[in-house]
């Protein structure tokens, strides 16, 4: 192995769009940051996770299922699809479960895109969209944000005869903003019949704006519309990797053609079945988030920081030099997300934490800003 020069490099054997990609930057494990800095109690506000923790009912369900781990999961997620179908009042044939909603984003790109076709996305939206498009060898048509919000009129303008997918984050990550009902309905009226609309509603439960359009209300049996939801955010189960799509039966059918037969683990299935009944956990999460949002807004204003008002559980904050502030906060034991890879070098994205975590963040932020 050592010393030999390869005749052919791996990147010569893959799609040029794949070779050109920068890999997703997940950030270091908290334990590693603590070890390197020689500090304890590092606060992680970098991945929009639920700071309250997982649902206690989900934990109990997982403990009860541990002795079955010698068996493969139910490849149909039978009970869970029944439960979700009942919850949304649709047939189970319209529910598709994934290894996180990110898997479903990838499968949709694999299904509907190929070289010569394109997908329309917004600038400064979830990085997984552009990764999935590039992995399928297709072109991303990127439309600028307007006032930190998806510009659905401009996105509709960008759709051409080769556009097979439009990815819409609502709320959008990393801006935390939503598009409203009137813009959404105008958009729907303009999307041509061969373009699949993906409404990624990972933060659905956090939204307070009454003009927020729930895309599930717009499935009419004809429209090529896919609604994505996840258990990673409000339900606090990001580590289990489970999310789902609601779509037409024929779209779910095609997704089933290409997915791995056991893409959703046993523990994920039982945990979600339990978490869906844990209304107390959801209520508490929303309360902690609402209080955190109000506190952080107040403190960002006091510190003279420009931020984007959020409908989710995170803030996009203009700190001048996002990378530098990220590094300095890290040394004070607070992990946020720099936004260079999102094309926003002035910003950091900060997830709303528990009360004491938010205090730690503001204290550290104040120290960093005063020193510069
Ligand atoms: C967190 C997030 C998801 C959820 O991804 P999972 O794979 O379900 O954990 C999806 N879309 C956006 C925009 C997100 O921020």
The per-residue DSSP string of 238-271 comes to GGG--EEEE--HHHHHHHHHHS-TT-S-HHHHHH
- The CATH code that applies to domain 56-275 is 3.40.640.10
Q: Give yes or no for residue 245 CB within 6 A of ligand 1.
A: no
Q: Give yes or no for residue 102 CB within 6 A of ligand 1.
A: yes
- Read off the tokens for 110: 């694999």
- Read off the tokens for 222: 């004809």
Residue 244 Cα, ligand 1 centroid: separation in angstroms? 11
Q: Give yes or no for residue 243 CB within 6 A of ligand 1.
A: yes
**pLDDT higher than threshold 90 for residue 37:** no
Contact of 134 with 17, CB cutoff 8 Å: yes
Residue 324 Cα, ligand 1 centroid: separation in angstroms? 26
Which of the four pLDDT bands, split at 50, 70 and 90, describes residue 29?
Answer: confident
pLDDT at 1: 59
Residue 232 Cα, ligand 1 centroid: separation in angstroms? 7
Q: Is the pTM of this model over 0.75?
A: yes
pLDDT at 321: 97
Strand residues in the chain grouped as ranges (E): 43-44, 95-98, 118-122, 139-143, 163-169, 196-200, 225-230, 243-246, 306-307, 314-318, 334-335, 337-338, 347-351
Beta-carbon-side half-sphere exposure of residue 254 (alpha carbons within 13 Å): 12
The model's pLDDT over 72-103, given as tens digits with 9 standing for 90+, comes to 999 999 999 999 999 999 999 999 999 999 99
Average pLDDT value for the chain: 96
Domain range 16-53+280-371, CATH class: alpha beta
Tokens 């409404």 — which residue?
A: 199
**pLDDT higher than threshold 80 for residue 27:** no
Q: Give yes or no for residue 232 CB within 6 A of ligand 1.
A: yes
Which of the four pLDDT bands, split at 50, 70 and 90, describes residue 22?
Answer: confident
Burial 277-296 (b: 16+ CB within 10 A, else e): ebeebbeebbebbeebbeeb
Which of the four pLDDT bands, split at 50, 70 and 90, describes residue 25?
Answer: confident
Q: What residues does each domain of the chain span?
A: 16-53+280-371, 56-275
Q: Give yes or no for residue 175 CB within 6 A of ligand 1.
A: no
Q: Whose CA is nearest to atom 2 of ligand 1?
A: 202
Which of the four pLDDT bands, split at 50, 70 and 90, describes residue 60?
Answer: very high
pLDDT at 6: 86
Residue 200 Cα, ligand 1 centroid: separation in angstroms? 8
Q: Whose CA is nearest to atom 6 of ligand 1?
A: 100
């Amino acid at each position: 192995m050592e010393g030999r020069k390869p005749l052919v490099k791996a990147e010569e054997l893959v799609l040029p769009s794949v070779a050109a990609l920068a890999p997703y930057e997940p950030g270091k494990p908290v334990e590693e940051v603590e070890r390197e800095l020689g500090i304890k109690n590092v606060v992680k506000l970098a991945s929009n996770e639920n700071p309250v923790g997982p649902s206690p009912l989900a934990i109990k369900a997982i403990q009860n299922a541990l002795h079955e781990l010698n068996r493969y999961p139910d490849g149909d997620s039978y009970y869970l699809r029944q439960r979700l179908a009942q919850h949304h009042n649709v047939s189970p044939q319209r529910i598709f479960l994934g290894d996180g909603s990110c898997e479903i984003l990838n499968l949709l790109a694999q299904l509907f895109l190929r070289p010569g076709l394109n997908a329309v996305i917004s600038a400064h939206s979830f990085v997984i969209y552009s990764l999935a498009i590039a992995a399928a060898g297709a072109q991303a048509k990127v439309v600028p944000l307007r006032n930190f919000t998806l510009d659905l009129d401009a996105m509709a303008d960008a759709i051409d005869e080769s556009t097979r997918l439009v990815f819409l984050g609502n709320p959008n990550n990393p801006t935390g903003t939503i598009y409203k009902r009137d813009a959404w309905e105008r958009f729907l009226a303009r999307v041509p019949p061969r373009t699949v609309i993906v409404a990624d509603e990972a933060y659905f439960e956090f939204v307070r704006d009454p003009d927020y359009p729930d895309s599930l209300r717009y499935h009419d049996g004809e429209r090529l519309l896919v609604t994505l939801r996840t258990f990673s955010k409000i339900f606090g189960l990001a580590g289990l990797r489970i999310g789902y799509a609601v779509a037409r039966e024929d779209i779910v059918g095609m997704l089933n053609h290409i997915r791995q037969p056991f893409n959703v683990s046993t523990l994920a299935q039982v945990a979600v079945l339990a978490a869906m009944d844990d209304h107390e956990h959801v209520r508490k999460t929303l309360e902690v988030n609402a209080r955190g949002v109000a506190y952080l807004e107040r403190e960002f204003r006091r510190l003279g920081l420009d931020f984007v008002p959020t409908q989710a559980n995170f803030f996009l904050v203009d700190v001048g030099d996002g990378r530098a502030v990220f590094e300095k906060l890290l040394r004070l034991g607070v992990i946020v997300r720099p936004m260079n890879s999102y094309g926003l070098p002035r910003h950091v994205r900060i997830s709303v934490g528990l009360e004491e975590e938010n205090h730690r963040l503001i204290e550290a932020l104040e120290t960093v800003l005063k020193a510069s």
